[in-house]
Chains A and B, each alone.
Chain A
Amino acid sequence: EDKVVQSPLSLVVHEGDTVTLNCSYEVTNFRSLLWYKQEKKAPTFLFMLTSSGIEKKSGRLSSILDKKELFSILNITATQTGDSAVYLCAVPNTNAGKSTFGDGTTLTVKP
């Protein structure tokens, strides 16, 4: 059965800190890994990763995939209180739309 594990489960930092969120996976026929941000409402898309070693970047957020070691990391630099959210990692199964989500990392950024 497909498995996605995120760590840590919870993280509390102060504004300006840099954080690294981890996602490891075990899936058959890997195609892509996606990161979402969930702020007390619907998840919103951050990144989709398909190739190892290619960093995706959007402002202070960046993500990279390692297909050999089966993990991805999401980095957030110079964190702000608005970054407080649950960050979800998802890996779609080759069986059409079945995606396996990790339990998420709850990030709290204190002023």
Chain B
Amino acid sequence: DSGVTQTPKHLITATGQRVTLRCSPRSGDLSVYWYQQSLDQGLQFLIQYYNGEERAKGNILERFSAQQFPDLHSELNLSSLELGDSALYFCASTLAGTGYNEQFFGPGTRLTVL
């Protein structure tokens, strides 16, 4: 158990809908990272927050957004969902914002868009 929690575990929804994925980092960690893992692709970095501020951005679609709250939990919002958004979404956390060291991954949220 990495200490990172993610809810929900599974999510099934329809195209065009909007969902929110939630992540709580390890106690004391200030940085949260979001990744998407599709069946035919590796882990794709989406976005990073550090102490409430956006720190780095990857290939995140405009339909996706995220934020980190004062209690350091983070939410990833996915809207106008498409079939291709079906994937495992992981969040990871670290103490610092640099990302050079190991990241601690949550168990993931499996999103299925029908």
Q: Which residues of A contact B108 (CB under 8 A)?
A: 41-42
The answer to whether B42 touches A45, judged by C-beta atoms less than 8 angstroms apart, is no
Tell me if B14 counts as interface (CB < 8 A to partner A): no
Contact between B105 and A96, CB atoms less than 8 A apart: no
Looking across the interface, which residue of chain A has its beta carbon closest to that of B106? A42
Contact B50 A42 (CB under 8 A): no
Q: A42-B107, A101-B42, A103-B42 are in contact. Are A96 and B102 (CB under 8 A)?
A: no
Residues on A with C-beta less than 8 A from B94 are: 97
Contact at B90–A31, with CB atoms within 8 Å? Answer: no
CA distance A90 to B101 in the complex (A): 10
A-chain residues with CB within 8 Å of residue B83 when the two chains form the complex = none
A97 interface neighbour in B2, B99, B102, B106, Cβ under 8 Å: B99
Residue of B nearest to A86 (CB): B42
Within 8 A of A (CB), among B57-104: 57-58, 90, 94, 97-104
Q: In the assembled complex, which residues on chain B have CB atoms less than 8 Å from the CB atom of A88? A: 42-43
Complex: how many Å from CA A92 to CA B94? 13
The answer to whether A99 touches B99, judged by C-beta atoms less than 8 angstroms apart, is yes
Is A68 engaged at the interface, CB distance under 8 Å to the other chain? no
The answer to whether A104 and B42 touch (CB under 8 A), given A43-B105, A92-B99, is yes
**Contact (Cβ within 8 A) A103 B102:** no
Determine whether the beta carbon of B43 is less than 8 Å from that of A97. no
Whole-angstrom distance between the Cβ of A6 and the nearest chain B Cβ:
8
Task: Give the interface of A toward B (CB within 8 A).
Answer: 31-32, 34, 41-45, 48, 88, 90, 92-93, 95-104
- What are the 5 tightest A-B residue pairs by CB atom distance, in nearest-first order? A97-B99, A97-B48, A42-B105, A45-B102, A96-B56
